[in-house]
Structure formats: C-alpha cells, structure tokens
C-alpha cells in the first residue's frame, strides 16, 4: 500500500504541491511507495481531517490558507521554529504522533537571498497571517528592518510585538516608496485582476516578492516588471519550502531540479 501525503486548505484547487511532489517521487523511483494528493477541508471539518491523518496513517500533510495557525492545537508536538513563528505548514506522522513544522520561513528566505543580502534592508510586509509570521521570523534572523502593513491593525500589532518590528495601517502604503523590498504575504494576488499595492508606489529599485504562486504572474508582479523592479516569484518560495517538506516526509534528499522544472513548465 502506498504511503499518502496530502495538501489541505480552503480553497485548495490552486495547489501545485501534488504536481511537484509526485514528480519528485517519480524521479527517485519511489512513486510505487508514495503518492501525493490534495483535499479541500471546510473549517468545521478540520479537526476530523487531522484525526483522519492518524486513522488513515497519512505520512505527511501540507497545510495552507486558512489553517496554518488554528491547526496547531490539534497536533501532538510542535517544532521549535514553528512554535516561535506561531504557524505550521507541514505535519509529519510518525507512529501515530503528529509533529508540526514550518518550512515557509526557509522557503521565503532562500528565494529572497537568491536576489539580495537581507541584513539592514528595509522591508514592507503586507499581511499578518500565517505566511507573514513565517517571513517576519526569517527576516528578523537575517537582520532586516521590517514594517508590517495590514488591514486589521490588531493583527499587525500582535505580529509586530512578537517580533519587535513596526506596523501600520494599509492606508499608509505610500510609505513603501522608501523601502528596499516589498512582500505581499496575503492571498490578494490569487485574483489576477487585483493587487494589494497601487502601481504608482512601485519603483525600479524595489525588489518585489508576491507569495501567491497561482497565477505565476500576479497583477503586482506584472506591474512591478513594467516598472523594471527585481522580481521574486511565489513559486520559488513554494519550491524551497517544498524541498524541505519532501525531506521531512521521506528522509531522502529532494531532487530539487526536477521539482523546479515541474513548477516552471
């Protein structure tokens, strides 16, 4: 019987994780042992889904919007990084014990550091959810100077307090003109006609990172490219966090180039 790995979220139809992981299983010749699936889980069924992970002996689970924080209370153990972040995007089932990890922060950092050294850089982060928490954690470790912009001031304040950074309301987005790096850590870009930022605030010297990977070119990314800004795509974060997930699920070194080509095709 094949070992099952699974992505859950609400919605989940945008997920590219099954494609990426199944390509990796095939590359290593273990597709007869592992299969990766996805499942849309409604909020009222989340606890049942986690119980099912034990009941059906699902080996690994990727957790996406909107469950990265709320899911923590259903797990047996939380990795130190994930506990500090306050969000889980990866669950490993070992002998019926569920351990939560966070690979988002390493995924985001790796993607960004391919473009820029982060120490001392001024970063505008839009959003205060699970993905934002992971990114702030990583940026803080690298010595970046972070300001959080969010629609809900209370959530922004909580995140800023946890990681000792600044925060403000989204209505003050004009401040991003002075920033080096702008990161959208919200789901806004999933609508190809919407951007969290008015293009008049974008500059050629900016580095723009949108965590949304479907569509690959969000409205924010398209408009940033028109201004000549450097781009970090959401699929790059997906790739690097997925490599870390794969190794947690299988205990094997991930075929990173196969995973990259699968996402780029």
- Known binder of ligand: residue 235? no
16 annotated to bind ligand: yes
Strands of the 122-126 sheet, one edge to the other: 166-169, 145-150, 122-126, 181-184, 207-210, 230-232
The answer to whether the annotation marks 144 as part of a ligand binding site is no
Q: Which residue out of 2, 54, 68, 261 is catalytically annotated?
A: 68
User: Annotation-wise, does 69 bind a ligand?
Assistant: no
- 97: β partners: 94
Cis peptide bond prior to 13, omega within 30° of 0: no
The rounded Cα 59 to chain-centroid distance in angstroms is 20
* C-alpha separations of 209 from 110, 153, 188, 232 in Å: 12, 22, 13, 5
H or E stretch including 53?
Answer: helix 46-55
256 is in an annotated binding site: no
Q: Does 130 carry a binding-site annotation?
A: yes
Residue 198 labelled as part of a binding site: no
Whether 155 is catalytic: no
| 233 annotated to bind ligand | no
Residues forming the annotated binding site for shikimate?
15-17, 64, 89, 104, 213, 241
Residues forming the annotated binding site?
15-17, 64, 89, 104, 127-131, 211, 213, 234, 241
Residues forming the annotated binding site for NADP(+)?
127-131, 211, 234
Q: Which are the catalytic amino acids?
A: 68
């Amino acid at each position: 019987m094949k070992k099952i790995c699974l992505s859950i979220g609400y919605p989940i139809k945008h997920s590219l994780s099954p494609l990426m992981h199944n390509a990796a299983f095939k590359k290593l010749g273990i597709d007869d042992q592992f299969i990766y699936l996805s499942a849309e889980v409604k909020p009222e069924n989340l606890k049942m889904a986690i119980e099912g992970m034990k009941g059906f002996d699902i080996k690994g689970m990727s957790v996406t919007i909107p469950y990265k924080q709320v899911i923590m209370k259903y797990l047996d153990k939380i990795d130190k990084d994930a506990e500090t972040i306050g969000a889980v995007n990866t669950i490993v089932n070992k002998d019926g014990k569920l351990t939560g990890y966070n690979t988002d922060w390493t995924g985001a950092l790796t993607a960004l550091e391919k473009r820029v050294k982060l120490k001392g850089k001024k970063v505008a982060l839009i959003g205060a959810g699970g993905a934002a928490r992971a990114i702030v954690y990583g940026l803080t470790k690298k010595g970046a100077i972070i300001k959080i912009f969010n629609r809900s001031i209370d959530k922004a304040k909580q995140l800023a307090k946890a990681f000792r950074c600044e925060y403000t309301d989204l209505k003050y987005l004009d401040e991003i003109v002075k920033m080096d790096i702008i990161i959208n850590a919200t789901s806004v870009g999933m609508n190809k006609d919407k951007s969290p930022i008015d293009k008049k605030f974008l500059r050629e010297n900016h580095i723009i990172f949108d965590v949304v990977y479907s569509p690959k070119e969000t409205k924010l990314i398209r408009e940033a490219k028109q201004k000549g800004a450097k781009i970090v795509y959401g699929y790059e974060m997906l790739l690097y966090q997925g490599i870390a997930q794969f190794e947690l699920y299988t205990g094997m070194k991930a075929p990173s180039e196969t995973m990259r080509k699968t996402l780029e095709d």
